[in-house]
Amino acid sequence: MDKSGGNGGQMVQVMLKERVRSRAAEAVTLQQDLPLGQILTGDCIEAMRSLPSASIDMIFADPPYNLQLGGDLARPDGSHVDAVTDAWDKFDSFATYDQFTREWLAEARRILKPNGSLWVIGSYHNIFRVGAAMQDMGFWILNDVVWRKANPMPNFKGTRFTNAHETLIWASMGEKAKYTFNYRTMKTLNDELQMRSDWVLPICGGQERIRKDGVKAHPTQKPEALLYRVMLATTKPGDVVLDPFFGTGTTGAVAKRLGREWIGCERESAYREVALERIELALPLDESAIATMQSPKSAPKVAFGALVETGWIAPGTVLTDKKRRMKATVLTDGSLASGADKGSIHSLGAKLQNAPACNGWTFWYLEHEGELKPVDAIRQLYLLATED
């Protein structure tokens, strides 16, 4: 890059580059301190206490439902209905459940980064209590998502509606907090229609359902499709996702496939074993497949002139196209000149190619640290250095 942008510009550039370097170093150190790819044993509240503050990008929690089942359930033919009757789902009272909820939410809040987000899934037994606690503690609800089960279990007694959905709450750290939402990715996933908050997905069954000696390994294994959508929508590749109620490790398996880092907490050793075996077998997708389309809304908004003003690209710098057939000089106001022609990076690029339009960010190149780079690469460096 041309360094003749004047002292002010050069100083800003040096300071910004230093900020990029130190932020990147901090992020690497923080990730190195985390037990990535591990399931922490014992109680999740204690386990989360061992993690550094503000270190996690997203938490997905599928806590005990506190199902208030009144005795065994049977089908009309007398056969037994599998339901959650395990000790981990039993609480003495709503008050005990609320206290537990507030304790794990407090730790979740401490370890989430300021721009992180929290997902909690639950049923009518617990989700309203969890939602109220989240709001009381400062989380800001962004959406509640209804997971409509394509194949729900019937209401065998015929005394109520078929319970055909679960609710997910998605929240940021506060009203003004930033968070990741891959809008464009979701729209693409949904055949170019905005993704809605009602998701129709089958419950976990068939090959996906883990069984040991023909018996379900876990009563509430979630479908991978659900986690796939959650993670694709609200995390970036390389982000750290934590699941305090790991069960069979659905979160870990999907994170591995999608190139995200994961940490689990699970107090039952039998579930931990199942989860580790399962994640071992999960195949990570190729990096090129993990890339997604970027949302025009979230695309960085920065004028070419801002790079000139701040000395990232100095006036007088010569830009070329990738094959060095066309040349233009950067002017002080951020426009380009080529012979008698002048214009923005986009309009001049279009004019020189005799094309109706041109994306100047990817058309124009410059020498940067001995390599020919598109000006978009400099824009990315600038954005990295100036993001809050």
Ligand X SMILES: C[S@@+](CC[C@H](N)C(=O)[O-])C[C@H]1O[C@@H](n2cnc3c(N)ncnc32)[C@H](O)[C@@H]1O
User: Alpha-carbon distance 42 to 50, whole Å?
Assistant: 12
Closer to ligand X by CB, 120 or 313: give it. Answer: 120
**Options 265, 313, 378, 381; binder of ligand X; rule CB under 6 A:** 265
CB of 271 to ligand X, least distance (A): 5
Reported as half-sphere exposure (CB side, CA atoms, 13 A), residue 22 has a value of: 6
In the complex, the smallest distance separating the C-beta of residue 102 from ligand X, rounded to whole angstroms, is 13
DSSP code for 74: B
Per CB under 6 A, 247 contacts ligand X = yes
Residue with tokens 């407090």, as numbered in its chain: 106
- Nearest approach in angstroms of CB 133 to ligand X is 15
Residues in the chain, overall count: 388
Task: Please tell me the distance from the alpha carbon of residue 367 to that of residue 86, in angstroms, as a whole number.
Answer: 64
Give yes or no for residue 262 binding ligand X (CB under 6 A): no
Q: Closer to ligand X at the Cβ: 47 or 319?
A: 47
Cα–Cα distance, 83 to 66 (Å, whole number): 12
Per DSSP, 263 falls in state E
Closest distance of CB 72 from ligand X, Å: 20
| Residue sitting closest to ligand X (CB) | 247
Residue with structure tokens 């002010």? 8
Based on CB atoms, which residue is closest to ligand X, 226 or 330? Answer: 226
Q: Which is nearer to ligand X, 37 or 305 (CB)?
A: 37
Residues 180-209 that bind ligand X (CB under 6 A): none
Q: Which of the stretches 147-155, 163-171, 217-225, 256-264 binds ligand X when contact is defined by CB under 6 A?
A: 217-225
Query: Can residue 315 be called a binding residue for ligand X (CB under 6 A)?
Result: no
* Helix/strand/coil for 314: coil
Closer to ligand X at the Cβ: 241 or 319? 241
Least distance (Å) between residue 267 CB and ligand X: 4
How many residues sit close enough to ligand X to count as binding (CB under 6 A)?
A: 18
Residues 48-107 within binding reach of ligand X (CB under 6 A): 62, 64, 88
- CA 187, CA 195: separation in Å to the nearest integer? 6
Residue 279 three-state SS? helix
Exactly one of 250, 310, 317, 335 binds ligand X (CB under 6 A); which one?
Answer: 250
Question: Could you say whether residue 267 binds ligand X (CB under 6 A)?
Answer: yes
Closest distance of CB 223 from ligand X, Å? 8
- Contact between 245 and ligand X per CB under 6 A: yes
Beta carbon nearer to ligand X, 261 or 266: 266
- Helix, strand, or coil (residue 148): strand
Q: Indicate which single residue of 149, 222, 278, 379 sits in contact with ligand X (rule: CB under 6 A).
A: 222
336-338, strands of its sheet edge to edge: 341-343, 336-338, 327-330, 318-320, 365-368, 371-374
Q: Which of 2, 43, 103, 273 binds ligand X (CB under 6 A)?
A: 43
> Site map for ligand X, 270-289, x if CB under 6 A?
-x------------------
Q: How far is CA 101 from the centre of its chain?
A: 23
Q: Which one of 55, 66, 221, 317 is in contact with ligand X (CB under 6 A)?
A: 221
Q: Which residues of 179-205 are buried (b: 16+ CB within 10 A; e: fewer)?
A: bbbbebbbeebeeeeebeeebebebbe
Contacts of residue 196, defined as CB under 8 A and 6 or more positions apart, other chains included, come to 190
Closer Cβ to ligand X, 86 or 387, answer by number:
86
The least CB distance from residue 67 to ligand X, in Å, is: 10
Q: What is the DSSP string of 170-222?
A: EEESSTT------HHHHHHHTTTS---SEEEEPPS-GGGS-EETTEES-TTPP
Among residues 271 and 363, whose Cβ is nearest to ligand X?
Answer: 271
Q: What is the spatial distance between Cα 253 and Cα 269, in angstroms, rounded to a whole number?
A: 18
Kindly list the residues in this chain that would bind ligand X in the complex (CB under 6 A). 43-44, 62, 64, 88, 218, 220-222, 245, 247-248, 250, 265-268, 271
